[in-house]
Amino acid sequence: MHGGGFYHIQKYLVAPASMPDHLTWFKWESYATWLSGFAMLALVYYLGAELFLIDPQVMELQVWQAVAISMASLAFGWVAYNTLCKVFVHADQNVLMLALFAVLVAMSWFYTQVFSGRAAMLHLGAFTATIMSANVFFIIMPNQRVVVADLKAGRTPDPKYGKIAKQRSTHNNYLTLPVIFLMLSNHYPLIFATEWNWVIASLVFLMGVTIRHWFNTRHARKGSPHWTWVATVLLFLAIAWLSTQPMRTVPEAEAKLQGAALVYASAPGFEGVVGIVQGRCSMCHAAEPSWDGMYWPPKGVVLETEAQIAHEAKRIAMQAGYTHAMPPGNLSYMEPEERAQIVEWFRAAGTQDPI
């Protein structure tokens, strides 16, 4: 059931004996998703490159250079993927899947070396989604048109077109869940703003495979592979451990702290943190932001006074201390020592890590 109606869908590897009265394609779902996604990529990450795409501490890039790398990487993804599929078309498909996973891991690492953590994860999702939509546009639909044309002409369709389309459709099936995760990751700094973000992304791809394999096997009535549940849980725990790793890293200076205050404003180091936040964050997080083109403080968070900074202690620690989510693109050049100072102050207040 979907959209208030009931559907009966049958899939044929080659083709049905005759054309059905009404033929429905799902291609527009794929096309609309990619087009709207690329539009958002351009509006948010290309036009707002200095805020969301570029991080000078990762790589100093001009806006045009960052945009060019972004677009070239998406094109490269399709070329590399399509080449591998053609090379391994007659080989064991498990070998092909391993080769594709190696490409995804390599791109996970590559993106974190050129873009901000937020943009790296988002681009990995766009990289994968581009492959999926290109599969539909360049392979699946053209092959289906050949089969349909043969049926209309009364010819027996060549089964190779169905096999090739099935290969690409299977890949799209396994990549769907990781893409959704990556597109949502920009809301969670513990995912995108850690040094292990590329490893987390790689594990998410594996977790997508184990989850899909369970459903695909069940739907094919080939049994219940319970091992996929165990594998999925282990992968999830590994991701959780990696994402919270910054909270278990204790700076050397913190070991010297004796005791802790119960109130953030009276905790050791608060005065220094106030100076850091006012110098690195307040140009945006102000009642009247001074950053060009910004007319209100992001998420309504104002960090101008000591009271406001103490009130937002958990957010500050999470976004700028434990992770590098803020400032976006590190535009105000917050130093690692300053981030460590924020963490020291937050822990000195006697509170637990903000998870």
Map tokens 């220094």 to a residue.
Answer: 272
Q: What residues have CB less than 8 Å from 137, skipping those under 6 apart?
A: 27, 30, 31
The CA-atom distances, in angstroms, between 4 and each of 7, 8, 30, 130, 300 are 10, 14, 21, 30, 38
The pLDDT assigned to 279 comes to 95
Write out pLDDT tens, residues 255-281: 333 333 345 888 899 999 999 999 999
Write out pLDDT tens, residues 97-133: 999 999 999 999 999 999 999 999 999 999 999 999 9
Positive or negative: CA dihedral 232, 234, 237, 239: negative
Instruction: Measure the CA–CA gap between 47 and 33, rounded to whole angstroms.
Output: 20
- Report domain extents, the chain: 27-205, 253-348
How many Cα atoms sit within 13 Å of 8 on the Cβ side? 2
The CA-atom distances, in angstroms, between 255 and each of 64, 149, 245 are 45, 74, 18
The pTM of the full predicted model, rounded to 2 decimals, is 0.77
Q: What is the mean pLDDT of the chain?
A: 87
Q: In the structure, what pLDDT confidence band is assigned to residue 10 with cuts at 50, 70 and 90?
A: confident
Q: ∠ at Cα 46 (40, 51), nearest 5°?
A: 105
The pLDDT assigned to 231 comes to 97
Identity of the highest mean pLDDT range in 63-72, 214-223, 246-255, 292-301: 63-72
Q: ∠ at Cα 108 (103, 114), nearest 5°?
A: 120
- Beta-carbon neighbour count of residue 335 at 10 Å? 12
Instruction: Measure the CA–CA gap between 14 and 158, rounded to whole angstroms.
Output: 7
The backbone torsions φ and ψ at residue 314, rounded to the nearest 5 degrees and listed phi first, read -65, -45
The pLDDT assigned to 257 comes to 32
Q: In the structure, what pLDDT confidence band is assigned to residue 219 with cuts at 50, 70 and 90?
A: confident
Instruction: Measure the CA–CA gap between 167 and 95, rounded to whole angstroms.
Output: 13
The pLDDT assigned to 18 comes to 72
Structural tokens at position 102 = 């190696």
Across 62-71, 193-202, 326-335, 344-353, least confident range: 344-353
Q: In the structure, what pLDDT confidence band is assigned to residue 158 with cuts at 50, 70 and 90?
A: confident
The backbone torsions φ and ψ at residue 3, rounded to the nearest 5 degrees and listed phi first, read 65, 30
Residue 285 pLDDT exceeds 90: yes
Q: Could you tell me what percent of the chain has a pLDDT over 90?
A: 57
Write out pLDDT tens, residues 314-354: 889 999 999 999 999 898 999 999 999 999 999 888 765 55
Nearest CA to 285 out of 265, 305, 260, 271 is that of 305
- Beta-carbon neighbour count of residue 12 at 10 Å? 10
Residue 12 pLDDT exceeds 80: no
